[in-house]
Amino acid sequence: MATTARRARTDPATDPMPLLGIDHVELYVGNAVHAAHYYASAFGFREVAYAGLETGVRDRASHVLQQGRVRLVLTSALRPRSEIAHHHADHGDGVKVIALAVPDAEQAYRVALERGARGVRQPWEARDDHGVVGMATIAAYGDTVHTFVARDGYSGSFLPGFREVPDAGTDPGLVLDIDHIVGNVELGRMNEWVEFYERVMGFTEMRHFSDEDISTEYSALMSKVVADGEGRIKFPINEPAEGKRKSQIDEYLEFYGGPGAQHIALITDDIVRTVRALQGRGVRFLRTPGSYYEELPGRVGDIAESYDDLRALGILADRDDEGYLLQIFTRPVGSRPTMFFEIIERHGARGFGDGNFKALFEAIEREQAARGNL
């Protein structure tokens, strides 16, 4: 049964490790040039910065794409035996770094280690003519890491070492920010990582879903959502549950080669417009059967949008005690059935579409069956 807890708000004056939000997400990909073109043409991102051989970087090429407050860094290896190349060989295209904005990266790193985090890279500073950025990195689940980024003293487009890309074009406003990032971990490890975020980051458990909440005839998963005190950063953590067949989490773990970030949820203020635009750009979404919409108005009630539009576009809707939300999920964006995106619009609701879990899970299972992985 799903349970919900109120977040305990933090006092920035006394919090030893205040978190300001998600600074950027870095994906390791096979070909950053092609990936940048895809995210620009399909999702409407603009390339704003670049680092590579032309900027003095010898081991990688990184393209920084932005839309609203969402920053994606697409990085590929320039050397065949580098850490980036090994990561991509193991996992395919996927999230490597979930960077967190902080006032002081050195202090955040020190506090994190005192609370039991494992350090990956000690605090360092990067400088150029635009100022200085402080950074430090700790380990998270699987090969995923969190980099603390303190950029108050920096006025450049992204980070030192990156060259600004001129004439990036106009922001189409299809997505505005990151709502949450979901992590998949092995069976029996969910509580361990929930405790990690509570102990190290000061997060609180916001929501808990059991295998009874998220299940079908064939498979199930369990999930807990942790969030910072202000609700700016939300990380659902999933683990598989016992079922008759392989769950979406099992499939992810198999093809990703271990734990990792399953999907990134992007906020929009007009999901109908956004989904129409993304479909026109070639983004492929999970299919929702027409029967889902027969009882939807009675379950969700009055909304500002047209139910006919939701049905035509395959958008899901749900309501909690504080309002309603609209959401839709893409198919995996790479060759492996691993990472995908969610588009979400909130009208007061704090939940994650609890009423849609069965419909979503069945849609994912239909995709798994088509791939021969159910």
pLDDT tens profile 48-82: 999 999 999 999 999 999 999 999 999 999 999 99
- Rounded distance between C-alpha atoms, residue 147 and residue 102, angstroms: 10
pLDDT of residue 359: 66
The arithmetic mean of pLDDT across residues 192-214, rounded, is 83
Q: Which band of pLDDT confidence, cut at 50, 70 and 90, is reported for residue 169?
A: confident
pLDDT of residue 8: 46
- Rounded distance between C-alpha atoms, residue 65 and residue 160, angstroms: 16
- Rounded distance between C-alpha atoms, residue 146 and residue 60, angstroms: 19
pLDDT of residue 24: 98
What is the SS3 assignment for 61-82?
A: EEEEEEECCEEEEEEEECCCCC
The arithmetic mean of pLDDT across residues 152-160, rounded, is 94
Both structure tokens of 261:
């970030």
Q: Which band of pLDDT confidence, cut at 50, 70 and 90, is reported for residue 1?
A: very low
Q: Which band of pLDDT confidence, cut at 50, 70 and 90, is reported for residue 328?
A: very high
pLDDT tens profile 261-297: 999 999 999 999 999 999 999 999 998 888 889 889 9
Residue 31 Cα distances to 63, 257, 335, angstroms: 10, 20, 13
Give the strand pairing for 60-67 and 234-241: unpaired
Residues composing the chain: 374
Range with the lowest mean pLDDT among 98-112, 168-182, 268-282, 284-298?
284-298
Nearest to 351 by CA among 332, 328, 329, 327: 327
Q: Which band of pLDDT confidence, cut at 50, 70 and 90, is reported for residue 23?
A: very high
Both structure tokens of 41:
């043409």
pLDDT of residue 366: 73
The arithmetic mean of pLDDT across residues 316-325, rounded, is 93
What SS3 state is found at 49? strand
Give the max Cα distance, the chain.
60
Range with the lowest mean pLDDT among 94-103, 165-174, 350-359?
350-359
Q: What share of the chain in percent tops pLDDT 90?
A: 77
Strand partners of residue 64: 49, 73
pLDDT of residue 7: 45
pLDDT of residue 292: 87
Q: Render 188-201 in DSSP notation, one character per residue.
A: T-HHHHHHHHHHHH
The arithmetic mean of pLDDT across residues 124-136, rounded, is 97
Give the strand pairing for 145-150 and 94-101: parallel
Range with the lowest mean pLDDT among 10-19, 64-73, 137-146, 222-231?
10-19
Tell me the H-state helices in the chain.
Answer: 32-43, 83-91, 105-114, 190-201, 248-256, 271-280, 296-300, 307-313, 357-371
User: Which domains can be identified in the chain, with CATH numbers?
Assistant: 21-164 (3.10.180.10), 177-371 (3.10.180.10)
108-132 as b/e: b if 16+ CB within 10 A = bbbbbeeeebeeeeebeebeeebee
The arithmetic mean of pLDDT across residues 183-207, rounded, is 95
Both structure tokens of 226:
């942790």
Both structure tokens of 251:
């499939």
pLDDT of residue 208: 75
What SS3 state is found at 102? coil
